[in-house]
Chains A and B, each alone.
Chain A
Amino acid sequence: MTPDINFGFGLSKSSRINLDNADNEKFRELAAREPDILKCMACGSCAASCSAGNFTELNLRKIILMLTRGAEKETVRQLESCMFCGKCILVCPRGINTRHLIKSIREIYCRPCAEPETGNGI
């Protein structure tokens, strides 16, 4: 039997997070600002309807889960493709103001790594 037969599945990379080492400082700040984040039941409606999620890995359900576990690097990268279109608010069964949540996440997690402004106005 050749060892490189592709069965269509395999071992996935470990996604284990060491909660003892996780730094939850920022998440506590976020939860104080956005208490609604604790209401999320991870149904994934936001991710399913997401305009940007159609093309990229942006997944708000995953972002919320990852943030609760202190994994923030990936979330910052994913949120770069959010277009703020607001579909996720309309579909959220828990009535979470997802747009404001995304804005707060970016403000808390992205600001320190801010680059000098290069954009142009309209």
Chain B
Amino acid sequence: MEDRIPGGYDNFVIPFLAGMAFILAYCIAKLIGIIMHMPSDDRKKLLLSLVNPRIIAKNIADIFSDCLLHVKIFRKNPKLGYMHMSIAFGWFMLIVIGHMEVAEFMPEKLHTFYYPIFFNYFVLKTADSGTALAVYEFLMDFFLLMVLSGVGIAVFKRFRSSIVGMKRTTRPLTRDRIAMYALWAIFPLRLIAEASVAGTGGGGFLAMSIYKAISPLMPESANVLPIWWAYSISLGIFFFMLPYSRYMHIPTEAVLIMFRNAGIRATNAETGFSLLEQYSCSTCGMCIDACPMTNIAEGEKNASVYFIRNLRYGGGKSSTKSIANACLMCNKCVAACPVGINSCELKRRYRSADYDGMPARQYGFVPSMETHPATIGNTAGNPCMEDHGNRISASYAIAGTKGQSRGVDSKPHKTASCKQNEDNVYNKKAIYFSGCMTQLTPSVSRSMERIFKAAGIDYSYMDRDGGLCCGRPLMLAGNDRDAASLIEKNTGIIETSGAEILVLSCPICYKVFKENYRLGNIRIMHHTEYINGLIESGRIKIRRTDEKLAYHDPCELGRGCGIYDEPRKIISAAGHLAEASENRESSICCGGSLGSITLTYDQRSKVTQAALESLACGSPDRIVTACPLCLKTFGTYSALPVEDIAFTVARSLEN
């Protein structure tokens, strides 16, 4: 095997080389910028992750399955998955096998960047290369065919997105179109270019058969250079357009995976890690179909893809803000995103700019620890015992004294079926925090008290006479600073209570307690987990009826905290579970979410209707949810009776 062209160089490689040099320089400069803008703790995490073998292994596995094979998209939509996999994995294999081929036959040329890309043009293949060459040629043509099939689907999808099962797809920008047409052109041009020199450069089943078909028509002296120029120029255009188009996700996604596996998260909406997330968005538009706001007229423009695009290209500030503030923060787009971009967190961070320069709130009206009903009897010598100001209102002082008589409700009595190991959390003192929303749906807290009593739990009810908010609503609005103040006050009350388990009946509270409170050894449980444990350990017994119960996954409990199975177990113990058409990770927000700051009453009702339609699919007798806010929202519109899961259990209690 030898050089067909003396020197192994032709000017047509210049567009490719220029594009390659540009994109490499751009990526390195951006990466340095991103790392410089990260907090120093995050830089340390990144450095440590690069020497941690466990994280390295995870990085490799994730990059392979997410960037090349696109397993996540395959699972959701096989046709779309094939399209992405064929282009990404096929192209990757073309590059790898192309380099291996050069390394095998012309190792002295490997250092020139362009040689493996335009190998067939420069080389004169002789018959003595044997079967190894045939295998390489077959593989190269096989993967090129794979890429071409993917490009074919992509072209077709542009005109009819329904072919790959997408109802809506993103409106591409002009810059995206230029890069897209260049990408579409690369592979057919490569095939034609390789076929044109197959007489000297060889080729597999694809290039060779095209060569055989066209060679009788071609004169011996035919100039094949223009087609190689076209191939190189299309590559060059594509590389030059990368940073300015959606295709920037190709070099960025692998880096995003490494940063994420190192434990780095967005700390603001515009620089550092979030820039990496913006670049990694391929604007595939899978979040558009996922977004519950598509049920609202013109709601589609609020999809996360447009928010990220606005952030990245600096689109109008008012429209960026209006998308950020409309979002329900239901996280459905995050669950649907094949790249795993946490767009809701970016929006939350974006919202926080509204509080710059605002006076910080201290919430000094917090009830003092001595009078708090939850802390009676546990106050001696506790370091948390400070008087948090004198602004306690008279109404609370009365509530506090009332609480004294209720403080200790019942002593735990051990039943025979109860496991006696010390791990049994149900023998430990519990503190129940119902949360603000539950005060609007008292059926939940009353049911919880019935269940506690039936199970013989020693519990105290932290906010029976009203309490502080958990802080999550402020955080959803982007106001972490004021939320921190509430978190501090609530932490003090819970620590002083002496309880070992904190039971919450509101998923909004549950999420913030799980993620942002530092409660030491106190176990935090949502009431679905707690009740399920009570049923499984035999502490309570419930009647099973023939009723069909549809379960609605609340956003903050399901996607927010990953609790899907416990509520289903409880419902199966009380009746027949009828699944909604969109359940678990795809469950539709009830529409009442506190995440949205600007959606109006009417707009919210459209989302509620969509969720109710999905729930009605299994023709249930009742709708069961595990969130007081969902309960309240559905209650207004539902034709079917709606109840909280605690109520379902309490009305079926046998003991």
A interacts with B: yes
Is B480's CB under 8 angstroms from A122's CB? yes
| A111-B357, A121-B484 known; A56 vs B393 contact (CB < 8 Å) | yes
Mask: chain B, 614-635; 1 = CB below 8 Å from A; 0 = not: 0000000000000001001100
Contacts of A81 in B (CB 8 A): 361, 363, 365
Q: How far is the CA of A83 from the CA of B436 in the complex (A)?
A: 10
Chain A min CB distance to B557 (Å): 17
Q: Is A25 an interface residue (CB 8 A)?
A: no
Closest to B465 in A: A54
Closest to A96 in B: B601
Partner among A51, A56, A80 whose Cβ is within 8 Å of the Cβ of B436 = A51
Chain A min CB distance to B594 (Å): 5
Chain A min CB distance to B323 (Å): 15
Closest to A115 in B: B359
Mask: chain B, 570-603; 1 = CB below 8 Å from A; 0 = not: 0000000000000000000000101001111110
Q: Which of A3-11, A67-75, A97-105 lies at the binding interface?
A: A97-105
Is A55's CB under 8 angstroms from B396's CB? yes
Is A51's CB under 8 angstroms from B466's CB? yes
Q: Is B537 an interface residue (CB 8 A)?
A: no
Q: Is B153 an interface residue (CB 8 A)?
A: no
Contacts of B632 in A (CB 8 A): 90
Q: How far is the CA of A2 from the CA of B365 in the complex (A)?
A: 38
Report B74-117 residues with CB < 8 Å from chain A CB.
Answer: none
Mask: chain B, 381-396; 1 = CB below 8 Å from A; 0 = not: 0000000000111011
Contacts of B592 in A (CB 8 A): 90
Q: Is A120 an interface residue (CB 8 A)?
A: yes
Q: Is A86 an interface residue (CB 8 A)?
A: yes
Q: Which of B238-246, B279-287, B338-346, B467-475 lies at the binding interface?
A: B467-475
Contacts of B481 in A (CB 8 A): 117, 119-121
Is A56's CB under 8 angstroms from B482's CB? no
Chain A min CB distance to B401 (Å): 15
Report B257-278 residues with CB < 8 Å from chain A CB.
Answer: none
Is B467's CB under 8 angstroms from A119's CB? no
Q: Is A91 an interface residue (CB 8 A)?
A: yes
Is A122's CB under 8 angstroms from B483's CB? yes
Q: Is A114 an interface residue (CB 8 A)?
A: yes
Q: Is A32 an interface residue (CB 8 A)?
A: no
Contacts of A80 in B (CB 8 A): 359, 361
Q: Is A110 an interface residue (CB 8 A)?
A: yes
Is A85's CB under 8 angstroms from B361's CB? no
For chain A, the bracket of interface size reads: 20 to 34
Is B359's CB under 8 angstroms from A110's CB? yes
Residues of B in contact (CB 8 Å), total 51
Is B469's CB under 8 angstroms from A83's CB? yes
Is B358's CB under 8 angstroms from A95's CB? no
Is B392's CB under 8 angstroms from A87's CB? no
Is B358's CB under 8 angstroms from A122's CB? no
Q: Is A113 an interface residue (CB 8 A)?
A: yes
Is B484's CB under 8 angstroms from A83's CB? no
Report B470-504 residues with CB < 8 Å from chain A CB.
Answer: 471, 473-475, 477, 479-487
Contacts of A49 in B (CB 8 A): 439-440
Q: Between A and B, how many residue pairs show CB distances below 8 Å?
A: 114
Chain A min CB distance to B293 (Å): 16
Is A95's CB under 8 angstroms from B437's CB? no
Is A119's CB under 8 angstroms from B354's CB? no
Closest to A55 in B: B365
Closest to B512 in A: A122
Q: Is B367 an interface residue (CB 8 A)?
A: yes
Closest to B441 in A: A90
Contacts of A87 in B (CB 8 A): 436-437, 439-440
Is B466's CB under 8 angstroms from A55's CB? yes
Is B359's CB under 8 angstroms from A97's CB? no
Residue from B359, B361, B392, B598 with most neighbouring chain A CB atoms (10 Å): B359
Q: How far is the CA of A14 from the CA of B291 in the complex (A)?
A: 53
Is B360's CB under 8 angstroms from A119's CB? yes
Chain A min CB distance to B69 (Å): 37
Chain A min CB distance to B434 (Å): 11
Chain B min CB distance to A36 (Å): 8
| A56-B365, A83-B363, A97-B598 known; A122 vs B484 contact (CB < 8 Å) | yes
Q: How far is the CA of A117 from the CA of B357 in the complex (A)?
A: 7
Chain A min CB distance to B205 (Å): 60
Q: How far is the CA of A110 from the CA of B354 in the complex (A)?
A: 12
Is B361's CB under 8 angstroms from A111's CB? no
Is B477's CB under 8 angstroms from A103's CB? yes
Chain A min CB distance to B64 (Å): 35
Is B474's CB under 8 angstroms from A95's CB? no
Chain B min CB distance to A12 (Å): 18
Chain A min CB distance to B556 (Å): 13
Q: Report A's interface with B, CB cutoff 8 A.
A: 49, 51-52, 54-57, 80-81, 83-87, 90-91, 95, 97, 99-100, 103, 106-107, 110-111, 113-115, 117-122
29 A–B pairs (Cβ distance < 8 Å), ordered by A: A49-B440, A51-B439, A51-B466, A54-B396, A54-B465, A56-B393, A80-B359, A81-B361, A85-B473, A86-B594, A87-B439, A90-B440, A90-B632, A91-B440, A95-B602, A97-B597, A97-B598, A97-B600, A99-B477, A100-B597, A103-B354, A107-B354, A110-B359, A117-B356, A117-B481, A119-B481, A119-B482, A119-B484, A122-B487
Q: Report B's interface with A, CB cutoff 8 A.
A: 354, 356-361, 363, 365-367, 391-393, 395-396, 436-437, 439-440, 465-469, 471, 473-475, 477, 479-487, 516, 592, 594, 597-602, 629, 632-633
The 3 closest A-B pairs by CB, nearest first: A95-B601, A119-B481, A54-B466
A-B contact sample (20 more), CB < 8 A, given A52-B365, A80-B359, A122-B483: A49-B439, A51-B439, A51-B469, A81-B363, A83-B474, A85-B437, A85-B469, A86-B436, A86-B473, A90-B632, A95-B602, A99-B597, A103-B597, A111-B358, A113-B359, A119-B484, A119-B485, A120-B484, A121-B480, A122-B487
